[in-house]
Structure 1
Amino acid sequence: MPDESVDEVLVAFKGDKWTVARGRLLTMGRSRACDVHLPDDEHLSRRAGSLLVLNDCVLVRNDSRHKPLVIRPPSGEDRVVEPGAAMTSLPFMVFSVVFTGRGGSTVTVRVDARSVTPSAGHHPGEVVTRAPETVTSPIVFTRVQRIVIAALCEPLLRRTGPRAVPATYAQIGRRLGRRPQYIRNVVKSLRESLAGHGVPGMTMDDEQAVHDDFRWALARWAMRSAVVGAEDLDDLPSDPEAGEDDGI
């Protein structure tokens, strides 16, 4: 018998489950007219959001007029969807839609879109051509730079929600047994090198730059470019005193 769950997205909330096929819409909100009935909390919108299953992802729409919602991946920073806006779930195969209720409490709807979301590097319907692949100039990092990048991104790779933020210079210093100023100098060298390669967000006149703090820009770029991943955390010392022995 064929698997009826193929090409269907699975949605779960408080023990209830829904299967949503491609092209179908699932609504979420405080109103009983919604498919996913959120708690009776006046801080939650009556029609808070909706999930539309597309060919290769889920379109998450914020149907509220005033309240933002959040797409929360298994690890890494939240994606905020403003009222009236929409955002796809790519590249995440599994994620949560988080609403904020009374007193800052959170309501979480879990979504499993693995059956419709392509794995990294594969795009349905992609035309194969004989044209050569796009080539970019390689960016070479020293061992010290790689370890600092890993320590910078460690909270984003291990945590989720509000705690998924880049490590501070002081936190990286303690992790690696180095002074914060040493870490600042390494990050400064990284920023200058990346700016020379045209990586956005790495120059003082970039709109996304906040003063001289480039931690977010560097961490986002490193993770999106697959420069650092969870496996790289194994290269970090197990305690601050190990930093000197590791030559960093």
Structure 2
Amino acid sequence: MGRSRACDVRFPDDEHLSRRAGSLLVLNDCVLIRNDSRHKPLVIRPPAGEDRVVEPGAATTSLPFTVFSIVFAGHGGSTVTVRVDARSVTPPSGHRPGEAATRAPETVTSPIALTRAQRNVISALCEPLLVRAGPQAVPATYAQIGRRLGRRPQYIRNVVKSLRESLAGHGVPGLTMDDEDAAHDDFRWALARWAVRSAVVSAEDLHDLPPGPDTGDDHGR
């Protein structure tokens, strides 16, 4: 993929795009995405959730995504998007040979009990990450969570603070007592990433939230 005439997927004549920007290699059970550019990163964008940045010269597999997009930045904020459907080579989740033997150890090793209020707040916090993609896939702000749950932002802050204190002893990155960012007041990213990646919340949990307005596009605190 790139501007070069030799590329199978040829990009527009935009000098900000690399002549050889990236390549795809079909493996036995997934697709390998390689950044062939010398200076420019590329972004893997799943149907919902955070973008995954692949630095120049680096590579990553498509797992766990079966359908995704690869986004390349052009001049003046323009982008080139290559959509990839890897369903024919990616086994269904939970059916990959050897998965149990190669799975990373759990970050949290003891059960964590959440109150109903905490679960509602953490579900609303993660809602944009579970239903949106690209720049919109960011944790909800305290104000957005408050509007979603019909609560004041300070109440949301207090619940998030209590969650952080409860999780401090469980080794969750960004939430431990000795973490460099522990003095800061905004733990939304660390909390949301942990909740989504450890499956504490999923898209199904959003059905348990009370009816409310959308979280909106205001991503300020």
Normalised by the size of structure 1, how large is the TM-score? 0.78
Structure 1, residues 194-248: CA drift from partner, whole Å, max 9, x if none?
22222222125435768332111111111111111111111222226xxxxxxxx
Distance 2:100 2:180 in 1: 36
- Of 189, 193, 197, the residue aligned with 1:220 is 193
Report % sequence identity. Answer: 85
Mapped contact 1:75–1:156 kept (Cα < 8 A): yes
**2:24 aligned with 1:54:** no
- Letter of the 1:74 partner, please give it: P
- Of 135, 140, 149, the residue aligned with 2:113 is 140
Structure 1, residues 45-90: CA drift from partner, whole Å, max 9, x if none?
0000011122222221111111111000000110111111112211
Aligned twin of 2:91:
118
Shift of 1:161: 0.6
Normalised by the size of structure 2, how large is the TM-score? 0.87
**2:203 aligned with 1:230:** yes
Q: Secondary structure at the match of 1:29?
A: coil
* 5+ long unaligned stretches in structure 2: 214-221
Structure 1, residues 8-33: CA drift from partner, whole Å, max 9, x if none?
xxxxxxxxxxxxxxxxxxxx001110
Distance 1:121 1:108 in 2: 29
- Letter of the 2:173 partner, please give it: P
Shift of 1:102: 1.6
**2:87 aligned with 1:108:** no
Mapped contact 2:3–2:17 kept (Cα < 8 A): yes
Aligned twin of 1:167:
140
Structure number with the higher strand fraction is: 1
After TM superposition, the runs of 4+ consecutive aligned structure 1 residues lying more than 6 A away are none
Q: Secondary structure at the match of 1:76?
A: coil
- Are residues 118 and 214 of structure 1, via their aligned partners in 2, closer, same or farther at CA, if it must alter by over 3 Å? farther
Q: Secondary structure at the match of 2:47?
A: coil
Shift of 1:125: 4.2
Q: Secondary structure at the match of 2:80?
A: strand
Aligned twin of 2:218:
none
- Are residues 44 and 156 of structure 1, via their aligned partners in 2, closer, same or farther at CA, if it must alter by over 3 Å? same
State how many pairs are aligned.
Answer: 208
Structure 1, residues 64-121: CA drift from partner, whole Å, max 9, x if none?
1111110000001101111111122111111110011121111110111122223333
Distance 1:43 1:62 in 2: 15
- Are residues 115 and 47 of structure 1, via their aligned partners in 2, closer, same or farther at CA, if it must alter by over 3 Å? same
Aligned twin of 1:66:
39
